[in-house]
Structure 1
């Protein structure tokens, strides 16, 4: 039946006339009796036959949205296809925001697409942007999209930087920036955060800058209490992490570290060295620290001062590097046997060249032990 529907879409209401085509009667017979009369057969037909939605999705949408005519809808589909959208992307856009197909395309949709092309978006970039957030097409061009874009450009400097920021959070086009971004920027400037760091934070971590000022200021206050230097990069990273965490999530992480024998001071030290340690999963923290404390006898304070190692993959980095460290030490090929932390933090390519390739002839097992890293490193060399 679905194949028939896709092949023969219809655009008029179903009647009980016996001359009604067979595939229309099939659809009519399969619509659940519990559906209310507001479900439009024309809407379902169009969503399936022209927009590429599944019958189930079309039926669900038709409970809330009714297509009164197909003129604007046909124009909408033609406009998207002309701008490079494929059928799958169109189906997603329509399923996400079905009301768009009823808009006057010349007045409501086309000017927005042309705006993005005029400020430097390629068709591919435009397709990616709209497909990731179809609600952009519902935002007012004159009251939201254009003024927000211009405001961001005045702050970030170039259309390219604005496009990067929007790519990281398209909400920048739909929100009142003067209610969040501008007050938060003012807070950072008053703290002495360098302008270029504010720009980078707004460009690459715009979600942090879009938090409500009250929540944002709480994050800033906590960073100040922990002794963060506002002029340093790590302060900006701390802002990004804390602005995205609720108080309950932060407290749960503190409790997790306490359960592993860490003091709050240890945890704050870890956070100051690597703010993203507070975003690592509970399972990963327990597994990695369990290895460090049980196998290597490292104290929480020692790990806290090197907290980035908590984020490493145990199977692909920590375990194979430890085995290689042991092999090299036992064969007298590495003089400093007590420096596994530095061994662990070494950049992957340098580690591969200095400790795998260099000693592979003497210890052939190195390639097998380090096969995960070997494949990645080989790709880097080849490219």
Structure 2
């Protein structure tokens, strides 16, 4: 089924010029290589802002420091509000124009505003680091009116902070151009107000989409049989409005090749919309596991698409080993299928099948310890 939606993604990749980098490290003047690059800018970015020579050169190609007065004051201001040197370096690298603004007039009032509406210092730092461009937006024309309007919609400053955390640009975009029309579209088709607020709070990026694209997603969901009054409709909006058409078409092809029928794919999406966000590789890996180890037919898994969202290494494999072990000891009710075994919440699973049988079958504890160790190492790698 085609998806008539397109999403424009802008990815910014900054690649350093290796030759220029090496010459700078060896003392060559950047101006001899490119007259548009300022010695002062490169030096300041390195010595005062903590950028690497390569990063400083990249920034200096697009931005020039004419005087260090505002820049020094800006760095001092961020330090006084609790940002670390690494955080400041990241802010400067991503939005160097902040160094040229008058910090007392252009930056500090915005920081104080966020503190006045309930942000903690830690929350403010997180907001700045998430999107430094928010500090270039007008306080009176964008930040304050957007925050107040969002608070009137979502109900509290805390909910607004959650929405902004999920989509930092929300504080400076044109709410009247997308968010409000999209909310009206949902009301007009019968989506309950609490569901609309849920979407705006948890998935604000999606409700900020171009209204034409948003409406296309809504219409497609209705054609596929989604009930606007159910949570699944909101989940479907989140998935559809964020997918490229090419990605949507490719996912359908992946499931077709795994012998899912058109109706099974549609049904799976209605039950668990996030099945369309699972990577192709993961889908194939999990399907192969279940068809080989459990001897499940593709239709069985198609009826339980939530299983595709589970981590193979952290959940499916260790629980499979524990399930087989307990089954061999006749400790698991044979009527309990492995699919049910997988869906049990983690806390209940640990209590019921790990702690409860640890003394009788010590291997279950070893399997679970291995799982935790695997998670710890993966977290270190990330």
Same fold? TM cut 0.5: yes
Q: Which residue does 1:21 correspond to in 2?
A: none
TM-aligned CA distance change 1:31 to 1:270, over 3 Å: same
Taking the TM superposition and a 5 Å limit, the aligned residue runs for 1:127-138 are 127-138=125-136
Name structure 1 gaps, 5 residues minimum.
1-25, 378-383
Q: How does 1:1-383 map to 2 (within 5 A)?
A: 29-32=27-30, 35-337=33-335, 339-373=337-371
Deviations 1:294-337 (A, max 9, x none): 33232233212211111222233222322332233333223325
Deviation, structure 1 residue 375 = 7.0
Q: 1:266·1:300 contact (CA, 8 Å) conserved in 2?
A: no
Output the CA distance in 2 between the equivalents of 1:203 and 1:116. Answer: 18
After TM superposition, the structure 1 stretch with the greater mean CA deviation from structure 2, 74-83 or 153-162, is 74-83
Aligned to 2:19: none
- Displacement of 1:161 in angstroms is 0.7
CA separation of 1:370 and 1:71: change in aligned 2, threshold 3 A: closer
Q: Which residue of 2 aligns with 1:17?
A: none
TM-score by length of 2: 0.86
Query: What runs of 5+ residues in structure 2 fail to find an aligned partner?
Result: 1-23, 376-382
Higher RCO (CA 8 Å, separation ≥ 6 residues) = 2
- Measure, in 2, the Cα distance between the counterparts of 1:314 and 1:80: 42
Q: CA deviation at 1:56?
A: 2.3
Q: Secondary structure at the match of 1:370?
A: helix
Q: CA deviation at 1:199?
A: 0.8
Bigger radius of gyration:
1
- Distance in 2 (CA, whole Å) between partners of 1:57 and 1:340 is 51
Are the counterparts in 2 of residues 316 and 372 from structure 1 also a CA contact under 8 Å? no
Task: Give me the TM-score of the superposition, normalised by structure 1.
Answer: 0.86
In terms of mean alpha carbon deviation, does 341-350 or 210-219 score higher?
Answer: 341-350
SS at match of 1:360: coil
Change (3 A) 1:302 1:44: same
Root mean square deviation of aligned Cα: 2.2
8 Å CA contact 2:217–2:237 kept in 1: the answer is yes
Helix, strand or coil for the counterpart of 1:53? Answer: coil
Number of residues of Structure 1 aligned to a counterpart in Structure 2: 352
Shift of 1:185: 0.4
Deviates more, 1:84-93 or 1:251-260: 84-93
Cα distance in 2 between the residues matched to 1:140 and 1:374:
47
1:133/1:170 contact within 8 Å kept:
yes
SS at the partner of 1:30?
A: coil
Cα displacement (A) at 1:368: 2.6
